[in-house]
Amino acid sequence: MTVAKEIHGLCVRAKAASRAMRKLTHSAKDAALEEIASALESAKEAIYAANAEDVEAAKAAGLSPAMVDRLTLTESRFKTMVAGVREVMHLPDPVGHRIWRRARPSGIVIDKVREPLGVIAVVFESRPNVFVDTAALCLKTSNAIILRGGKEALRSNKALAAAVRAGLAASEVPEDAVQLVTTTEHSAVSELVRAVGLVDVAIPRGGERLIRAMCEAALIPVLKHYKGVCHVYVDEGADLKMAIRILDNSKVQRPSACNAAECLLIHEAVAERFLPMVHKWADKKGVALHFGGVEGGEVDWGREFLGLELNVGVVKDVKAAIAHINEYGSGHSDAIVTANPQHAKRFQREVDSAAVYWNCSTRFTDGAEFGMGAEIGISTDKLHARGPMGLEELTTYKYVVHGSPVTGTVRK
């Protein structure tokens, strides 16, 4: 069978499953999530065994220790993954929620109602837990899902898929609600993102290269973030001790996260006092500083380090800081530390990013911190979803309209 045919078959089955899923009640979906959690627990040994094979092969193939670590399903990661399914189960289901009702002068009554998107394709790398996390979020919102993982995790993903589908088989949800792409051909991804009318949206969870390739091939919408180049700007008159605390949290707490800071901007009026504090902090925490200064220097300003490195620049004022961030940032998360409410307001209005912080760490950009319960990813797009994407962002809406014998026709 060709890759095109194989993917087309998966998509057709997913679409059929998604149609059937429109009839599911909240409790039927929650029961299915519990079945999945139990099935994963029952299949634990088989999943560990498959994962151990993947890990061994990865080591033999000379993959980096970081990649091997991401691939490894430890006991604690497994438990967190299963607990995650039960957490999603307990979240409120947005499907069917009425956003608004309008009685129009024409006599019709319009309900704007939340609906599943339909079929979601998720392409991910390395971490096998993504398979289960995203499947749970999609099921909860009555979406069918097609998953494509990295080839180094194929055995693990197959074992997880078998367990999840065994759980579904014991529920009212069709098994084809969750499908794994098992071909390792690269063209499988382009087939998925060109399946107009079958797949409603693609969500990449991986590096910038994967995402760019998907967008280049795509005929369907792709929800994504290319990268997270987040800034902390320390304004004149800022509480400098607070600034260090916020900088520390933004940079050091989890440097590999997309919401970690990659660039510090300092108002020139406080640079002389603040820079020694920054040096002291950087020495203590092992952060390498790259200085650009007022004129920009040789610094690669748009760089996403994802590690203990930080660009530092001195700017003339809040206006220059905003211009710098809009020029070099990635529209993800940016913070101002200031005691001046006018400066904060201006920064938060003019910086064109998903989340703009006043006296807060950029690390708050996260579904759980925002009260969404769970997230499928973070979007730096502006269409449909911006920032953390939770359950609501996995839905669309429809207009449900009711007329009457005297109101059913358009007059003019």
- Shortest distance in whole angstroms from residue 78 CB to a copy of itself: 20
CA dist., res. 271 & res. 235, Å (int): 10
104 near a copy of itself, judged by CB under 8 A: yes
How many residues sit in the footprint of a copy of itself (CB under 8 A)? Answer: 67
Query: Within 10 A of 103 (CB to CB), how many other CB atoms are there?
Result: 10
Residue 80 or 396 with smaller CB distance to a copy of itself: 396
Residue 315 binding a copy of itself, by CB under 8 A: no
Min CB(322)–a copy of itself separation in Å: 9
Which position among 242, 273, 288, 296 is part of the footprint of a copy of itself (CB under 8 A)? 242
Q: Which one of residues 131, 274, 305, 357 is an interface residue with a copy of itself (CB under 8 A)? A: 357
The residue within the footprint of a copy of itself, chosen from 138, 171, 353, 391 (CB under 8 A), is: 353
Q: Does 382 bind a copy of itself (CB under 8 A)?
A: yes
* Backbone φ and ψ of 176, nearest 5°: -75, 5
Quick one: which of 48, 38, 50 has its CA closest to 77? 48
Binding window for a copy of itself (CB under 8 A); candidates: 51-59, 112-120, 270-278, 285-293: 112-120
CA distances to 76, 107, 142 from 199, rounded to whole Å, are 34, 36, 14
Q: Is 240 in the site for a copy of itself (CB under 8 A)?
A: no
Q: Pick the binder of a copy of itself from 328, 363, 375, 377 (CB under 8 A).
A: 363
Sign of CA dihedral 16, 20, 26, 27: negative
By CB under 8 A, is residue 102 in contact with a copy of itself? Answer: yes
Question: Could you say whether residue 118 binds a copy of itself (CB under 8 A)?
Answer: yes
Please report whether residue 215 would count as binding a copy of itself according to CB under 8 A: yes
- The answer to whether 223 contacts a copy of itself (rule: CB under 8 A) is yes
Give least dist CB 44 to a copy of itself, A.
Answer: 26
When the beta carbons of 100 and 286 are compared against a copy of itself, the nearer one is 100
Nearer to a copy of itself (CB atom), residue 179 or residue 380: 380
Provide, rounded to whole angstroms, the least separation between the CB of residue 122 and a copy of itself. Answer: 15
Q: Report the site for a copy of itself in 138-197 (rule: CB under 8 A).
A: none
Instruction: Please report, as residue ranges, which positions from 40 to 59 form the binding site for a copy of itself (by CB under 8 A).
Output: none
Q: How far apart are CA 168 and CA 40, in angstroms?
A: 11
Of the pair 53, 304, the CB lying nearest a copy of itself is at 304
Kindly state whether residue 272 participates in binding a copy of itself, applying the rule CB under 8 A.
Answer: no
Q: Which stretch binds a copy of itself (CB under 8 A): 25-33, 167-175, 268-276, 348-356?
A: 348-356
- Nearest to a copy of itself of 71, 337 (CB atom): 337
Among 387, 389, 390, 391, which residue sits at the site for a copy of itself (rule: CB under 8 A)? 387
76 binds a copy of itself (CB under 8 A): no
Q: Does 110 bind a copy of itself (CB under 8 A)?
A: yes
Rounded Cα distance between 335 and 312, Å, is: 14
Tell me: does residue 340 bind a copy of itself (CB under 8 A).
Answer: no
Residues within the interface to a copy of itself (CB under 8 A): 19, 22-23, 102, 104, 106, 108, 110, 115, 117-118, 200-201, 215-216, 219, 221, 223, 239, 242, 245-246, 248-249, 253, 326, 344, 348-350, 352-361, 363-366, 369-371, 381-384, 386-387, 396-405, 407-410
